[in-house]
A and B are shown apart, each in its own frame.
Chain A
Amino acid sequence: MEKRMQPESRPLSAAARFERLALVLAVVGLALTGLPQRYTQERWAEITLVLLGGIESARILHRLLAVLLLAVAIYHVLAVSYQRWVLGRHLALLPRLRDWRALLDRVLYNLGFKANAPEGRYALRIEYLVVVISVVILALTGLMLWNPIAVTSRLPGETIPTARSIHSDHALLFVVFLVLWELLVLGLWRARQQPDTAQLETPARSAEQVSRRQRLFVPLAVLMTVLVVAGLTVFLTAEQTAIPTVPRREAIVFAPQLLPESGDARVGAAVWATSRCAFCHGADAGGGVDGQPALRGSDLTLDAFYEQVRRGSETMPAFSREELPDAYVLHLWTWLSAAQ
């Protein structure tokens, strides 16, 4: 025997109100801290992130709100289980076929094909389904992004960009859906004031039955909660994904006297083309117009060449280390010696 329930007959408990408040806070907060991360190149997103204290602060807030949402989800599972299994209440939270038909009837009514609007809380049940699916998708993908190293040590690397893409796309879809749906549910249809024609209640359990089930449920619920919270805590705190500070690169900045292990003919050619050598000895080191010697294919030793460059001669200026560092002399010699 089924008994139809009126909404007035079961006002929301304080716990349920708190749960709903926490859910709204978490979802709105996650949207406010998450969507700007999706649209970082947009001005409005940048302003929002500044108001949130910067991108890193927004990410921390997003994670804290995600923890709140996970807590709400865990509590909700426990609360529904308690209602259903201990108290024996059939809550009819998920939409059935008749709820989808009611939605279709509502559209037909709007379009003038039906005389009367359907009654009931079908819109709330459809919304509930979307919320449950979305929370599961966003929580799973969010946890993957939280610990990418742990995830990629067991799953393919592609999992991370896929999770990021789904998390971002689904969050957008979810937020837009919620805004539009709440406009319908709260603003236009006033669905929460509708009588709930679908909620059923099984025959009330005796106090003894409830008490017996409570004795079994409470320790199980506590155990499950502890296990889930402990597991999540371990997972969420186990990984340091990145080092906090990128180490500064060390470089020898001022090194005019550096002598490489071997000469580089490419550099030697460039030095030749840009130094005064070519002015007298020719652009290709093949000799100057005034009889200056050709240097290409020179068989001068490096020491002799170095001495000539540094000391010069009556007809050739000396080149200082500032003008032609030792390394460049080596490169020059390498190019001249290698050239035929």
Chain B
Amino acid sequence: MTTKVPLTAGMIACLLLLFGLAAPVLAVQEEGDEPPPASNAYCLLCHSRPDQVWHLPSGETLPLTVDPAVLAQSVHGDANPDGALACADCHPNFRFPHPPSTSRTAREFRLERYAVCRNCHEDQYTRAQDSVHGAALRAGRLEAAVCVDCHGGHDIQPPDEPRQRVSLTCGRCHGAIFEEYQNSVHGAALLDENNPDVPTCINCHGVHDIQNPTTTLFRVRSPELCAGCHADAGLMGKYNISTQVFDSYLTDFHGSTVALFEHETPDVPTNKAVCFDCHGVHNIQPVAAGGASSIRETLLTTCQQCHPGASTSFPDAWLGHYPATAAAHPVLFAANRLYDWLTPLVIGLVGLVVVSDVVRRLRRRGG
């Protein structure tokens, strides 16, 4: 299939100008050598014009205009430590007339072209191929994100500056999830304050080698993901949040089981709760939102997701990531203290009897 580009008066002028500029080059080419790469000025003769549009067979139009100022301000522009990239660095062998494209849609054209990023970003490209996006693409899901979907084309900016850009980028395709996230405790802090500490999408999901978050493996490893921040005393200290959440979880019935599954059989599902079963995934809210009565009601509903028969006092079996105190849990506190002294006392006394008996026998044998 061939593509049709409307021939406008401006384009005719461009063609004539290009022919004039390209004549010496063409002369060299006739002698059998590779043509030199097209200069930016050569490309921008046409592509700086505002009316450049490609009409694809699908009926879509693809803007072909490139703003040199936007390109210059991108990460590949003047600020690039290795020097500004030229058009031909990403569009090699593109001289006029351009080779015909087989793409029928704008998406097909994007998928045809994005692999050029690999020339400089081999590692990121390879990891992206191993990601959930790469797998979806290979499975025929053409909408799966490729390099330029997240980073852009000519206007590429630092992907995490400001940090809000990260989640907004993901939100372009994952709109429903972004809508949940934007109202979560993490999302609100990111959007309202550009908070540097709350997680954006990539802090939990990774960047290029994003893995399927619905697997059993991801589930059993997720507590460690949360602990990355919530067990960090320095980080949590800034927000007066307890760092005991992870340790208390690991000593709890749920956490100890999940940890064992994670170590020994990470691919085997477990019905024990992980952090996001109770706190939510993208819609995580502050625990204290709505006050104590709200916490209690929410907790009962949460418990009943896995414990359908749970009564109103069942959630009180959960100490809330905090050690028992005399004020909050007097019976449990007393039981803990009782065994704190009873265990060493009994073992110490029995041990004393054993040791004294052994010593007596040794003395008798020696003397």
A143 within 8 A of B: no
Q: Which of B77-85, B116-124, B310-318 contacts A (4 or more CB under 8 A)?
A: B310-318
- Min CB distance B219 to A, Å, is 8
- Min CB distance A95 to B, Å, is 15
Closest to A248 in B: B214
**Contacts A107-B356, A253-B177, A256-B173; is A177 near B317 (CB within 8 Å)?**
no
Closest to B132 in A: A253
B292 within 8 A of A: no
A245 within 8 A of B: yes
Closest to A162 in B: B332
Q: Is the CB of A245 within 8 A of B173?
A: no
Which A residues from 250 to 290 make CB contacts under 8 A with B?
251-258, 260, 264, 266-267, 269-271, 273-274, 276, 279
- Min CB distance B292 to A, Å, is 15
- For A183, list chain B residues within 8 Å (CB): 354
B309 within 8 A of A: yes
- Min CB distance B267 to A, Å, is 13
Closest to B313 in A: A157
Q: Is the CB of B339 within 8 A of A37?
A: no
Q: Is the CB of B260 within 8 A of A246?
A: no
Contact of B172 among A170, A188, A325 (CB under 8 A): A325
- Encode contact with B along A229-252: 1 for CB under 8 Å, 0 otherwise: 000000000011111111011011
Q: Is the CB of B63 within 8 A of A55?
A: no
- For B277, list chain A residues within 8 Å (CB): 246
B347 within 8 A of A: yes
Closest to A168 in B: B339
**Contacts A165-B336, A317-B63; is A152 near B175 (CB within 8 Å)?**
no
Q: Which of A16-24, A26-34, A46-54, A217-225 contacts B (4 or more CB under 8 A)?
A: A46-54
CA A183 to CA B352, docked complex, whole Å: 13
CA A158 to CA B315, docked complex, whole Å: 9
- Min CB distance B288 to A, Å, is 20
A327 within 8 A of B: yes
Q: Is the CB of A274 within 8 A of B67?
A: no
Q: Is the CB of A180 within 8 A of B264?
A: no
A318 within 8 A of B: yes
CA A161 to CA B342, docked complex, whole Å: 19
- Encode contact with A along B327-367: 1 for CB under 8 Å, 0 otherwise: 00101100110010011001100111110111111000000
B10 within 8 A of A: no
Contact of B164 among A109, A248, A274 (CB under 8 A): A274
Which A residues from 113 to 168 make CB contacts under 8 A with B?
148-149, 152-153, 155-162, 164-166
Q: Which of B28-36, B89-97, B149-157, B232-240 contacts A (4 or more CB under 8 A)?
A: B149-157
Q: Is the CB of B260 within 8 A of A40?
A: yes
Q: Is the CB of A55 within 8 A of B336?
A: no
B284 within 8 A of A: no
Q: Is the CB of B331 within 8 A of A158?
A: yes
- For B319, list chain A residues within 8 Å (CB): 161
Q: Is the CB of B63 within 8 A of A322?
A: no
Q: Is the CB of A274 within 8 A of B307?
A: no
Q: Is the CB of A243 within 8 A of B70?
A: no
Q: Is the CB of A180 within 8 A of B351?
A: yes
- Min CB distance B318 to A, Å, is 8
Q: Is the CB of B164 within 8 A of A111?
A: no
CA A49 to CA B214, docked complex, whole Å: 27
- Min CB distance A321 to B, Å, is 9
A333 within 8 A of B: no
CA A50 to CA B339, docked complex, whole Å: 29
Which B residues from 178 to 226 make CB contacts under 8 A with A?
179, 182, 188, 190-192, 194, 214
Q: Which of B188, B265, B357 has the most CB of A within 10 A?
A: B357
A sample of 29 inter-chain contacts (CB < 8 A) reads A40-B260, A46-B263, A54-B260, A55-B257, A110-B357, A149-B309, A152-B313, A152-B317, A153-B311, A153-B313, A159-B317, A164-B253, A189-B357, A240-B309, A242-B307, A245-B271, A246-B306, A252-B176, A254-B173, A255-B174, A255-B175, A267-B168, A269-B191, A274-B162, A279-B73, A317-B50, A318-B63, A322-B149, A328-B172
- 4 tightest Cβ-Cβ pairs between the two chains A and B: A157-B316, A258-B175, A169-B339, A110-B356
